[in-house]
Amino acid sequence: MTIWYLVRHGEVPSNREGRHIGQREEDLTEKGEQQAKDLSQMLADEPIDSIYSSPLSRARATAFEIRKNHQKVRFETDLRLSELHMGIFEGLHPNDARIQYPVEYREREKDKFHYVIPGGESYERVMERVKPAIRDIRKLYPEGKVCIVGHQGSNRAIIGELVKRIPTQDIPKITISPQEYIRIDEVKGVAVIQFISKALKFDLEERLQ
């Protein structure tokens, strides 16, 4: 079956400031550029067959860095791998979002998976759009090794789609660092997941605690 390498883009200004970025365009910070280089080195010896990226510039910049060590592999962008659209919350710090949109903020906190942000999406809707992307890529690489460069929200949705044992309410709780990659092996219909940094490996249960 397919082996997946999920990567989150490097840091951008909104990440550093704790703001909801969603689908806004921002360039990597100096730290983000270094994170992309580190990820590229971590993945350098992995036998990747193809790289797919969100079309947002921060993901593409990270993917281009990874591609430097995999120059002969297929590279594509796919709109379906874009970040969760944060709608009215985009560009706002959570404290400001809570003040400016108290009702909407409170309702989302009750159920982040199903709640559709006005002007944006829910995690459920993101899963609905990443599912066909995963299906299409799996058809092309049924025994291959595929790197997907995306975002915290979209990668959470991909994990939720691949690892069926995760309760939907736990999907928004998965922490995805720009300083690690996530490997998911599909073996006989079972997805085995690892979070891999320079020095440590974490399994799914540890990450969700």
Give domain limits for the chain: 3-86+127-208
Q: What per-residue confidence (pLDDT) applies to 199?
A: 61
- Measured between alpha carbons, how far is 187 from 203 in angstroms, rounded to an integer? 16
Give percent of the chain with pLDDT exceeding 90. Answer: 88
C-beta separation of 145 from 186 below 8 A: no
- Measured between alpha carbons, how far is 93 from 138 in angstroms, rounded to an integer? 37
Residue 37: pLDDT over 90? yes
Q: What per-residue confidence (pLDDT) applies to 209?
A: 56
- The mean pLDDT value of the chain amounts to 94
Q: What is the mean pLDDT of residues 94-104?
A: 98
C-beta separation of 188 from 153 below 8 A: no
Q: What per-residue confidence (pLDDT) applies to 205?
A: 60
Q: What per-residue confidence (pLDDT) applies to 202?
A: 57
Q: What is the CATH number of domain 3-86+127-208?
A: 3.40.50.1240
* Total-model pTM: 0.93
Q: What angle do CA 116, 118, 121 make, to 5 degrees?
A: 40
Q: What per-residue confidence (pLDDT) applies to 135?
A: 96
Which band of pLDDT confidence, cut at 50, 70 and 90, is reported for residue 190? confident
Q: What per-residue confidence (pLDDT) applies to 201?
A: 58
Q: What is the mean pLDDT of residues 87-100?
A: 98
